[in-house]
Amino acid sequence: MDISIKPKSLEGEIEVIASKSLSHRYVIAAALSKEKSVISNVLKSKDLEATKNALSALGASFDKDMIYPVDLNLRVHKVNVFESGSTLRFMIPIFMLQTNEVEIHGMHRLVDRPLDVYDRLFENKKVTFKHLDENHQLPVLIKGKIKGGHFPLRGDVSSQFISGLLFALPLTGRDSVIELTSPLESKGYVDLTLDVLREFGIHILRVDQYIYIKGGQKYQAKNAIVEGDFSQSAFWFVAGLIGKKQLVLKHLNQDSLQGDKEIVDILLRMGANIKYKDGNYIVNPTKTKGTTIDLSQVPDLGPMLMGLAALSDGVTTFINYERLRIKESDRVEAMKDVLSRFGVEMKEFHDKIEIEGKSQLNGHIEIDTFNDHRIAMAASVLAIRAKDNVIIKGAECVEKSYPVFFEEYKKLGGDINEIR
């Protein structure tokens, strides 16, 4: 699906979509419980479909907000996680809670995303973790039951590997220790997992670089409501800042443990006129200024913040951005391409990226989304400040995480037309 967006400010109130990170975690924890749970406001997206599909292979079932638990009896021997990196990395250790052989398949760039952390971890654990592709890509074959023990891994890899172990290891028969051999990046995502596990009755102790996990624990069923997503809110925050009218963002928890809540602090540091009142974030048009942004803990915020940098005064510098290269697209190269079409140069040096802002962006251009939902949404927001219409090619990729994004965009006054 290709769409054409006419430059126009957005205005009004929006209930920010449910957190994808929390939706994954609540659904998995509920499915690992012994009784039925009721989890409301779970995100409806292809990534969550992937997680539910994987859990269904182990006996879980879903009826509206009700989640019935797994029994760990494998129903199918091939599971497709589509394009969901979270599902892939969370579910691999969970499939190792049973002994039957299972193949995990994926689609598009997920096939190429690295799993070498699990390659090393499971090498001496008496389980099979085998790539069926000669290029060391998906699918992988898993067989054997994980038994706990010592799991050393680097802290600067994706936090999803750590969270996957955190879900599974409490259900093994032995105590376990995860040892982080380098400083932890994306700490907020690990904290989010630990908090959800606590809510479901799982007790885990973290001391410095060690995470201690008692074996033989049981998940306790829980009823919960998923809060709004700070990573997705970034697009609406920026839309409010670069337009001419006020936006009000609802359903965001000011005390959230989501790591991407840092979006608010970053924007305030850039001079943004944002207030929090009566449970809502009020965003007023602001000419933001350049600053230095460390993306090590918040890589998903990268595309939209790079977009905002293109419209900020002075130079914005990005550091610790390498993990953007192994997402749904190489988001560094993708944003270079997007910004260049808008008439903004993104300069990359050996350890930093610099973007010097402009007052207005080119229009009458076509943007390639690289089949990446965050690139599509960032480009659509930037279209607010283009000189003329902007065509977004392959806009349907937003279904991965935010299927109603363009519907919400229109409700706020956006002028979007599907062209084919």
- Is the pLDDT reported for residue 390 higher than 90? yes
Lowest mean pLDDT among 113-122, 225-234, 294-303: 113-122
Scored b (16 or more CB within 10 A) or e, 53-68 reads bbbbbbbbebeeeebb
More confident residue, 306 or 137: 306
More confident residue, 220 or 185: 220
Average per-residue pLDDT for the chain: 96
Q: pLDDT > 90: what percent of the chain?
A: 93
- Is the pLDDT reported for residue 18 higher than 80? yes
CATH number of 3-17+228-418: 3.65.10.10
Q: Say whether the peptide bond before residue 170 is cis (omega within 30 degrees of 0).
A: no
How high is the pLDDT of residue 185? 81
Separation between Cα atoms, residue 61 and residue 75, nearest integer Å: 12
Q: pLDDT > 70: what percent of the chain?
A: 100
Q: Is 300 a catalytic residue?
A: yes
Stretch 148-161: mean pLDDT: 92
How high is the pLDDT of residue 209? 93
As its CATH architecture, domain 20-214 has Alpha-beta prism (3.65)
Q: If DSSP codes are grouped into helix, strand and coil, which group holds residue 289?
A: strand
- Is the pLDDT reported for residue 180 higher than 90? yes
Per-residue three-class SS string for 307-358: HHHCCCECEEEEECCHHHHHCCCCHHHHHHHHHHHCCCCEEECCCCEEEECC
Separation between Cα atoms, residue 52 and residue 360, nearest integer Å: 43
How high is the pLDDT of residue 134? 78
CATH 3.65.10.10 location in the chain: 3-17+228-418, 20-214
Task: State the pairing for strand pair 273-277/223-225.
Answer: unpaired
pTM, 2 dp: 0.91
Distance of CA 252 to the CA centre of its chain: 16
The pLDDT tens digits of the residues spanning 90-102 come to 999 999 999 999 9
Structural tokens at position 306: 């790079």
Stretch 177-182: mean pLDDT: 96
Band of the pLDDT at 383, cuts 50, 70, 90?
very high
Band of the pLDDT at 219, cuts 50, 70, 90?
very high
Band of the pLDDT at 244, cuts 50, 70, 90?
very high
Biggest CA-to-CA distance, the chain: 62
Band of the pLDDT at 156, cuts 50, 70, 90?
confident
Which is catalytic among the residues 300, 337, 368, 372?
300
Instruction: List, in sequence order, every residue forming a beta bridge with 12; answer none if it has no partner.
Output: 247
- Is the pLDDT reported for residue 271 higher than 90? yes
Residue 204: DSSP 8-state: E
The pLDDT tens digits of the residues spanning 316-346 come to 999 999 999 989 999 999 999 999 999 999 9
Separation between Cα atoms, residue 10 and residue 7, nearest integer Å: 10
How high is the pLDDT of residue 12? 98
How high is the pLDDT of residue 135? 79
- Is the pLDDT reported for residue 138 higher than 90? yes
